[in-house]
Amino acid sequence: MEAVAEATGIKNITTQHCRVEDIKNTKFDFVVSRAVAPLKDLWRWSRPLLSRESKQTTAARPGLICLKGGDLAKEIQESQTRPRVMELTEIFPEPFFAEKYLLHITK
């Protein structure tokens, strides 16, 4: 995330590389995760850390942003969420990114 922020010129960002269960008494506009767990778990862990409203002027509402791959229908259904799903090939047309998605779930 720090490399992305630097490459894009984003200045109003604070990053923490840690386990979600180690974070106490802190609220964030966004929690960003790789596909390290089922979506239902990522959402359960992330939801208490999210601000109700963004501290910054942004087009996106606070939420969980995660990278996932493959057929996500069952995983999304089990999570009982309604994420905005973007195919990464919309941004990166390389074959490596086929069947990989960026999910944004808001409170």
pLDDT in tens, 64-83: 999 999 999 999 999 999 99
Which residues lie across from 87 on neighbouring strands? 101
Distance between alpha carbon 2 and the CA centroid of its chain, in Å?
Answer: 15
Q: Is the pTM of this model over 0.75?
A: yes
Q: Does domain 18-106 have CATH number 3.40.50.150?
A: yes
pLDDT in tens, 10-63: 788 878 888 888 888 888 888 888 768 999 999 999 999 998 876 665 567 889
Give the pLDDT of residue 15: 81
Q: What percent of the chain has pLDDT over 70?
A: 91
